A and B are shown apart, each in its own frame.
Chain A
Amino acid sequence: MKEKNLLKNPSFQAILTSLVCIVLGLLIGFVVLLMINPAGAGEAIKTILLNFLTRASAAAQMKALGNTLAKTAPLLMCALSICFCYKVGLFNIGAPGQYEAGACIGLYAALAWHCNWVICLILAAIAGAIVGAISGTLKAYRNVNEVISGIMLNWIMLYMTNMILSRKAVKDPASPYTIKLASGNKGALIPSAGLNKLFANNTTVTIAIPLAILFAILIWVILSKTKFGYELRATGFNKEAAKYAGMKEKQNIIVTLAIGGALAGIGAAFLFLTGYQEWSTTQTSVPGMGFNGIAATFLGGLHPIGTIFASFFIQSITDGGALINKSVYPSQISDLISSIIIYLCGFVLFFKFALNNWIKKKEKKEVSKVEGAAVKAEGGDK
């Protein structure tokens, strides 16, 4: 009886389905590795899974873990952006565009205006929020699907960011990248508050990591414990009903996407203001961070807390992929695995539906068995 109750539990179901997706994704990845070269496939998949644990010394392990965590923070923010909007019934595929806007203004403020990190972070959030709000306004007042406007804005913002960050004040004249923050403006680097000591003096480990986790908890509280979150979710569930109940449904849509945009904008700040990498002004494709965020969101069972673990997992296998023997296997194998996982996440609803149906059927059978036995017993008495 206890096992059945566990299977019925929605959070257990969410974890179970996510694990199934991960296992299947890894299995397909493993088969691909076997097809490329069977000799080292086992070793390669182990490297992808273990990532930092494959490093030789404890210090090197901690340093590698620090790198993974430093990139998990922005990924988590993008995932939260998508998760938050999805809970309100909006698919924020525009997260990469909002992320680009955050990177653009965050870096510009840091390098051209020499602002300190707090101001840069806030400006990045505002920039993301504005881009999100454009999608929201178009959706609320002009009936434009947020997915389509999001995609268009992703590309508009990509080219605009490239254009703005190519200016003399921010771009390194010798390379296509923006000037390193360490030499351009040290004050714009997010402080580490001693965290880097824990990770073998990895300077990219900053308070961005705990902040991202705090944001995840905050989003969870807002969505499930406050009136505001309830109203937003009600709007997403049924716009007309929300309007009838006296909620400002149009405003709610805009606010939702603006918050989503702010989260993605902060995500960009969490990456570019740690000095982990610079913006390449010649890039011609939308950064993958936002799209990987979709993976983390769905793998995390559309729950802000689950998203934390999912983000870490996605980032960890991505970094692990960079460690495998590159003369034999392409490192993109981990992109392949994570994209398969996202694809499989599409089947989650169906899987849950089938699981619940199966449980119901089984229960019905048992009930009828018990009833049947009871009828028999009664008949025997007479």
Chain B
Amino acid sequence: MVLLLQYTIIFASVLCLVALGGCFSEHSGVINLGLEGIMVMGALGGAVTMFLLPASSAKIVIVLCTTLAAILVGMLFSCLLAVACINFKADQTLIGTAMNLLATAAATVFVRAMNTSINPDNVSTSIQYIQEKKAFLKYFGKFEFNWFMVMAVVLLIASYFLLYKTKFGLRLQACGENPQAADSVGINVYKMRWAGVLISGFLGGLGGIVYITAGVSEWKFEMGVAGFGFLALAVMIFGQWKPTNIALAALLFGLFRALSNVYTGIPFLAAMNIPSTVYNMLPYIISLIVLAFTSKNSRAPKAEGIPYDKGMR
């Protein structure tokens, strides 16, 4: 049971962070299908930092450096989306898909090149960071507490305030709802959209490093992040683009993911003998059903997916 709780909270933290990232991007009017890719790149940045830092470094140094590296790489990678979709008005679905493929390929190439340059016989696609990873963990009895859980909660509250209680957040939302109107009152739509995408890079990159340090024991980069970016997209939709609902949705979907990992350890669930694939499938099925019933009067930002063109009114 402790294991289930632990997995649920850590998966929920990942999903919540990444879904909030998607939420900012979409509120600014850009659909971010590249979340999965941003997560991979963030994970790569964080993992390489952990690998490079000596294991004897102070815990706080490891935590801060890794987090910052993941955020930075995530934001850098999200620039690819911003440049193409905001400045060059490219198809957002196409660019997002390209970014997902690009991130996995680039991360794999990078990690393998790094591994072979250190040891020519090492052709694996994983980075060793088991020692450094311990900096993030703290044990309360059997419960493995992770500092990222705190970060997720703090960023959730911060996101709520940023989106609803600040001038910036309201302007950002205006750009996703009606960019022409926003422009007419002097808001720079391009800048706001850039901000939205960069914030999604920030949160997505962080989500990536949380996933690989906490959710799984060892990570092969050729696997990407196993669809967590897309699951986060589902969380965002189920949460109807609102931070508080996103947090609840993340908990629910995190629970499903956790169940698929540990259900064999819980007697009554093991007795039901539902294959783990069902738990993996459920979040997607639920989101699809929710979509079917809510999309008629959807809460989705109205102008999302449409490149903003100053000349069109």
State A156–B277 Cα separation when bound (angstroms). 9
Which residues of the partner chain A approach B227 to less than 8 Å between Cβ atoms?
155, 284-286
Which residues of the partner chain A approach B291 to less than 8 Å between Cβ atoms?
138, 142, 144, 148-149, 152
Flag whether B54 is at the interface (Cβ < 8 A). Answer: no
State A326–B293 Cα separation when bound (angstroms). 50
State A333–B292 Cα separation when bound (angstroms). 40
Which residues of the partner chain B approach A163 to less than 8 Å between Cβ atoms?
275, 277-278
Contact at B292–A144, with CB atoms within 8 Å? yes
Give B282 Cβ to nearest chain A Cβ, in Å.
9
A147-B33, A149-B288 known; A36 and B97 CB under 8 Å?
A: no
Flag whether A75 is at the interface (Cβ < 8 A). Answer: no
Give B279 Cβ to nearest chain A Cβ, in Å.
9
Contact at A346–B109, with CB atoms within 8 Å? no
State A120–B278 Cα separation when bound (angstroms). 26
Give B22 Cβ to nearest chain A Cβ, in Å.
11
Instruction: Please report which residues of chain B, range 281-308, place their CB below 8 angstroms from some CB of chain A when the two chains form the complex.
Output: 281, 284-285, 287-288, 291-293, 295-296, 298, 305
Contact at B101–A330, with CB atoms within 8 Å? no
Which residues of the partner chain B approach A347 to less than 8 Å between Cβ atoms?
84, 88, 90
Chain A interface extent, by class: 35 or more
Partner of A285 from B94, B95, B224, B298 at Cβ < 8 Å: B224
Chain B residue with Cβ nearest A147? B93
Give A227 Cβ to nearest chain B Cβ, in Å.
28
Give B151 Cβ to nearest chain A Cβ, in Å.
26
The digit string for B21-46, where 1 denotes a CB below 8 A from any CB of A, is: 00000000001010000000000000
The digit string for A163-180, where 1 denotes a CB below 8 A from any CB of B, is: 100100000000000000
State A91–B31 Cα separation when bound (angstroms). 14
Chain A residue with Cβ nearest B279? A159
Flag whether B269 is at the interface (Cβ < 8 A). Answer: no
Contact at A91–B287, with CB atoms within 8 Å? no
Partner of A350 from B88, B120, B278 at Cβ < 8 Å: B88
Contact at A142–B275, with CB atoms within 8 Å? no
The digit string for B78-121, where 1 denotes a CB below 8 A from any CB of A, is: 00100011001111011101111110111011001100110010
Which residues of the partner chain A approach B94 to less than 8 Å between Cβ atoms?
91, 294, 298, 342, 345-346
State A148–B305 Cα separation when bound (angstroms). 12
Contact at B284–A156, with CB atoms within 8 Å? yes
Give A341 Cβ to nearest chain B Cβ, in Å.
8
Which residues of the partner chain A approach B305 to less than 8 Å between Cβ atoms?
145
Contact at B222–A291, with CB atoms within 8 Å? no
Flag whether B143 is at the interface (Cβ < 8 A). Answer: no
How many contacts between A and B, using CB within 8 angstroms?
152
Contact at B281–A291, with CB atoms within 8 Å? no
Contact at A328–B222, with CB atoms within 8 Å? no
Flag whether B160 is at the interface (Cβ < 8 A). Answer: no
Flag whether B52 is at the interface (Cβ < 8 A). Answer: no
Which residues of the partner chain B approach A286 to less than 8 Å between Cβ atoms?
227
Give A322 Cβ to nearest chain B Cβ, in Å.
14
Contact at A138–B292, with CB atoms within 8 Å? yes
The digit string for B218-244, where 1 denotes a CB below 8 A from any CB of A, is: 000011101100110110010000000
Contact at B226–A285, with CB atoms within 8 Å? yes
Which residues of the partner chain B approach A147 to less than 8 Å between Cβ atoms?
31, 33, 93
Contact at B116–A328, with CB atoms within 8 Å? yes
Which residues of the partner chain B approach A36 to less than 8 Å between Cβ atoms?
109, 113, 117
Chain A residue with Cβ nearest B94? A346
Chain A residue with Cβ nearest B231? A155
Which residues of the partner chain A approach B102 to less than 8 Å between Cβ atoms?
336, 339-340, 342-343
Flag whether A222 is at the interface (Cβ < 8 A). Answer: no
State A32–B109 Cα separation when bound (angstroms). 9
Contact at B277–A152, with CB atoms within 8 Å? no
**Best-surrounded residue of B85, B123, B292 (most CB of chain A within 10 A):** B292
A149-B288, A339-B102 known; A332 and B108 CB under 8 Å?
A: yes
The digit string for B56-89, where 1 denotes a CB below 8 A from any CB of A, is: 0000000000000000000000001000110011
Chain A residue with Cβ nearest B89? A350
State A245–B276 Cα separation when bound (angstroms). 50
State A332–B287 Cα separation when bound (angstroms). 33
Give A130 Cβ to nearest chain B Cβ, in Å.
15
Can you list 23 pairs linking A and B with CB atoms under 8 Å apart? A91-B91, A138-B288, A143-B295, A147-B31, A151-B233, A152-B234, A152-B285, A155-B284, A284-B223, A291-B97, A291-B100, A298-B94, A330-B113, A339-B98, A342-B94, A343-B95, A345-B94, A345-B98, A346-B84, A346-B91, A346-B94, A347-B90, A350-B90
Counting from the closest, the 6 A-B pairs by CB-CB distance are: A346-B90, A335-B105, A339-B101, A339-B102, A330-B112, A343-B98
- Knowing that A291-B101, A327-B120, A349-B91 touch, tell me 19 more A-B residue pairs with CB under 8 angstroms: A35-B113, A93-B97, A143-B295, A151-B33, A152-B285, A155-B284, A286-B227, A294-B97, A332-B105, A332-B112, A332-B222, A338-B101, A340-B98, A342-B98, A345-B98, A346-B94, A347-B84, A349-B90, A350-B90
